[in-house]
Amino acid sequence: MSKGRILVTGGCGYIGSHTIVDLIENGYEVVAVDNLSNADESVLKGIAEITGVNVKNHVVDLAEREATIRLFQEEAFTGVIHFAALKHVGESVDQPIRYYQNNLNSLLNVIEGMQETGCQHLIFSSSCSVYGNTDELPVTEKTPRQSAESPYGRTKQMCEDILFDVCKISPDFQGVLLRYFNPAGAHPSCLIGEAPSNPASNLAPVITETAIGKRKEMMVFGNDYNTSDGSCVRDYIHVVDLAHAHTLALDYLRENRQASNCELFNLGIGTGVSVLEAIHAFEEVTGVRLNYRIGDRRAGDVVAIYANADKAGRELGWQPKYNIKDIMKTAWAWEQKR
């Protein structure tokens, strides 16, 4: 018997596709919606091969209100996991209006669709970018948010505020905000992984594309930060670990274990890894030397951020299984296959 019928927005994307697999493997029925602006429906074949389930995708732009409301009226969902958003930090600096219009309107339309149809459970894909350049490391859920370093980060802050406000006046509406750090790696089957339609900007695919020859070289944006080796420090979390946290968050709402109707969790390994350390980890597990060079700092980048995820372990029962070497090993296996 199904545990519920879940709409995964951005379901053909990187994290969305891995989460769909985890949901199906844990007893949920899944429907996807993705406008395919940075994804491809071919990922659905990989999902079907892993799970034996054909998942339907609705090609809908969630920033369009009428189309979004119609989707909710035509289908019946017990919960929503909302990934769909523009997500490139540098691009958001250059195109702030586009980011505000897309990321805010899509969330508002999804909430309206949920409320009109009585769908009460929402898992929101937030980001460590909401913390800004914090002096407190590792960050906990109680770490004060600083000014975001990019319009992308500000949209995540605004979306969080929207959800807190909605939950405050809607006691039956239950939300979980997952602030996650830097997803990377690929499914162990190598049937799905990170495959953006637009040029990759996340570190792991940039590394693997350089290693396989799709890029002549890769750029390390700055080596003069106040870190151990001068490059930016991040908390890299394997996408399979991250995906499972979303399933656990739905279980958490379904079983009514939350203390309030809007809860917040960090999702990260809890260890900071610099860009150069990630490069060296890749070289160690693959034996492939990378052609990289040091460039200028990139606008919008936070210097260092990594998580304290004890609350997720305590309340969701979530424990990450993979480390940076596992991430690089699976990312490379996926790159070689695709």
Enzyme catalytic residues: 152
Pair type for strands 182-184 and 273-274? unpaired
C-alpha dist (Å) from residue 225 to 220, 228, 298, 301: 12, 9, 12, 11
Ordered strands of the 174-180 beta sheet: 57-58, 29-33, 5-9, 79-82, 121-127, 174-180, 262-267
Pair type for strands 292-295 and 218-221? parallel
CA dist., res. 334 & res. 328, Å (int): 10
| Cis amide leading into 151 (omega within 30) | no
Count of other CB atoms within 10 angstroms of residue 130: 24
Name the nearest CA neighbour of 293 among 232, 211, 220, 210.
220
CA dist., res. 326 & res. 338, Å (int): 18
167 contacts 173 by C-beta, under 8 angstroms: yes
- For residue 199, what are the contacts with CB-CB under 8 A and spacing of at least 6? none
Kindly give the interhelix angle for 203-212 and 324-337, rounded to the nearest 10 degrees.
50
Three-state SS for 197? Answer: coil
Q: Is 22 left (phi over 0), alpha (psi -120 to 50) or beta?
A: alpha
- For residue 179, what are the contacts with CB-CB under 8 A and spacing of at least 6? 126, 127, 128, 130, 131, 141, 264, 265, 266, 267, 307
